[in-house]
Amino acid sequence: MPRGAAIEIRDLTKRYGDVKAIDAVSLTVAEGEFVTLLGLSGSGKSTTLMAVAGFVDPDGGAIAISGSDVTTLPPEKRNLGVVFQNYALFPHLNVFDNIAFPLRMRRHAESEIDTQVRRVLDLVSLRDLSARRITELSGGQQQRVALARALVFSPPVLLMDEPLGALDRQLREQLQIEIRRIHRQLGVTVLYVTHDQEEALSMSDRIAIMADGRIQQLGTPHEVYMQPSNRFVAGFFGESNFLDVAVERAGDNPVLRPKGLRDITLHAALRRPLSGDRFLAMVRPEAIEIGDSRDPAFENNLPGTVEQQDFLGATQRLTVKTGAGSVAVRMSRLANAAALPAGAPVWLKWRAGETAVFDAQD
């Protein structure tokens, strides 16, 4: 099985009437990398994927695979595995013939087809179902057949459009693990589309967060989660606290002053230069610890009083009123929340590395 091929998308644009479905999207996926396009519906993620597959004719820009331009190549000449949102299996063919389809298109010998189909059926753990009709399969099994069909001809690139969207949570998690395993095993390059942030975080090498037809941020799961480049990206991955701040000293380790607080400064680890005049500092609720006094071991200390407690099962949330606004804190279920009744004074503390800063206008 050959290793994956690199995908290079440059300034890709697609208009539908006056609306730009994708607007100058550029993205490079390395050989064997797993990159996810994450966004809400209408963000342009599926349009981008379908342009790579060859089903969307771009108005501008170029797509190259393994260094050769495929922008005007019809889908059948691109040699890419595509897994569609609703699987798009052929209902008039059985499992074996569905999976054999791409090999028959490539005029392989029947004996070779038999070997290859059995190989991928093993890969997706469906060995005994080759004679089944598609309508007799469960959703999870259909998903596996779609995956097997997209992999059987050993394409260097696998494109997946919300492949787990129709499955229930438990099955989805199981298949996420399986897709990761297959990706590692085959070394195929994967471009994956989803609207599920947890799916993106757990599966991807890198994530491209899309909105309004543009890539908002491209980075590893850790980067996009802990150092979001704007409020939209921050809001995409669960709960976050935003504090209005002024930048007192720019540079690599900027000093921030929360609006409305005189004697408090905050510290952040910054990866890009700041510009503009209004800034937001962001910290995740689970990054904050609770203490009863200022703690010099943490770069950031903020005093407040407990406003409310919510029990959430695995975690509990504390809402703390501070001079810079309400701050949500997420603690383990095991933390002693009983000691923190409403009105209790507390100190919030967190590391500089857990603080992201961005222009409030973005």
Asked if 108 interacts with another protein (CB under 8 A), we say no
Nearer to another protein, 85 or 319 (CB): 85
User: For residue 256, what are the contacts with CB-CB under 8 A and spacing of at least 6?
Assistant: 245, 246, 247, 248, 265, 266, 267, 268, 279, 281, 355, 357
- Hey, which bits of 212-251 come out as E strands? 214-219, 241-249
Q: Computed from CA positions of residues 142, 98, 151, 207, in that sequence, does the dihedral angle turn out positive or negative? A: negative
Q: Sign (positive/negative) of CA torsion 87, 91, 95, 97? A: negative
Nearer residue to another protein within complex by CB, 46 or 355: 46
Stretch that binds another protein, among 61-69, 86-94, 255-263, 290-298 (CB under 8 A): 86-94
Residue pair 90/101 in contact (Cβ under 8 Å)? The answer is: yes
Q: Is 17 in the site for another protein (CB under 8 A)?
A: no
Cα–Cα distance between 169 and 58 in angstroms, integer?
Answer: 35
Which range, of 26-34, 80-88, 137-145, 322-330, touches another protein by CB under 8 A?
A: 80-88
CB 134 within 8 A of CB 94: yes
Other Cβ atoms closer than 10 A to 316: 18
Residue pair 151/81 in contact by the 8 Å Cβ criterion: yes
Determine which residue in the list 2, 55, 169, 184 makes contact with another protein, applying CB under 8 A. 55
Phi, psi of 226 (to 5 degrees): -95, -30
User: Does the footprint of another protein cover residue 74 (CB under 8 A)?
Assistant: yes
| Minimum CB distance to another protein smaller for 162 or for 299 | 162
Among 4, 54, 219, 221, binds another protein (CB under 8 A): 54
Q: Pick from 7, 43, 48, 101: which binds another protein (CB under 8 A)? A: 101
Residue in 18, 92, 222, 343 binding another protein, rule: CB under 8 A: 92
CA dist., res. 197 & res. 324, Å (int)? 29
Give which of 56, 68, 82, 54 is closest to 6, Cα–Cα. Answer: 68
Q: At closest approach, how far in Å is the CB of 160 from another protein?
A: 12
Among positions 116-155, residues that touch another protein (CB under 8 A) are 149-150, 153
Instruction: Figure out which of the listed residues 60, 64, 66, 84 binds another protein, where binding follows CB under 8 A.
Output: 84
Match 């609207």 to its residue by tokens: 195
Query: Minimum distance between the CB of residue 106 and another protein, rounded to whole angstroms?
Result: 6
Closer CB to another protein, residue 53 or residue 329? 53
Q: Is 70 in the site for another protein (CB under 8 A)?
A: no
Q: State the DSSP string of 290-348.
A: EESS--TTSSEEEEEEEEEEEE-SSEEEEEEEETTEEEEEEEETTS-GGG--TT-EEEE
Contact residue for another protein among 1, 19, 105, 131 (CB under 8 A): 105
What is the closest distance, in whole angstroms, from the C-beta atom of residue 105 to another protein in the complex? 4
Q: Among residues 79, 194, 322, 355, which is the contact residue for another protein, using CB under 8 A?
A: 79
- Which C-beta is closer to another protein: that of 82 or that of 215? 82
86 is a site residue for another protein (CB under 8 A): yes
Indicate the DSSP class of residue 15.
E
Does residue number 218 form part of the binding site for another protein (CB under 8 A)? no
Nearer to another protein, 15 or 317 (CB): 15
- The answer to whether 53 contacts another protein (rule: CB under 8 A) is yes
Half-sphere exposure of 210 (CA within 13 A, CB side): 32
Count of residues interacting with another protein (CB under 8 A): 26
Helix, coil or strand: residue 244: strand
Helix (H, G, I), strand (E, B) or coil at 361: coil
> Nearest approach, Cβ of 8 to another protein (angstroms)?
19
Question: Which of 16, 59, 106, 293: binder of another protein (CB under 8 A)?
Answer: 106
- Specify the residue, 182 or 243, whose C-beta has the smaller distance to another protein: 182
User: Cα separation of 145 and 159, whole Å?
Assistant: 15
Residues that bind another protein (CB under 8 A): 53-55, 74-76, 78-82, 84-86, 88-92, 101-102, 105-106, 149-150, 153
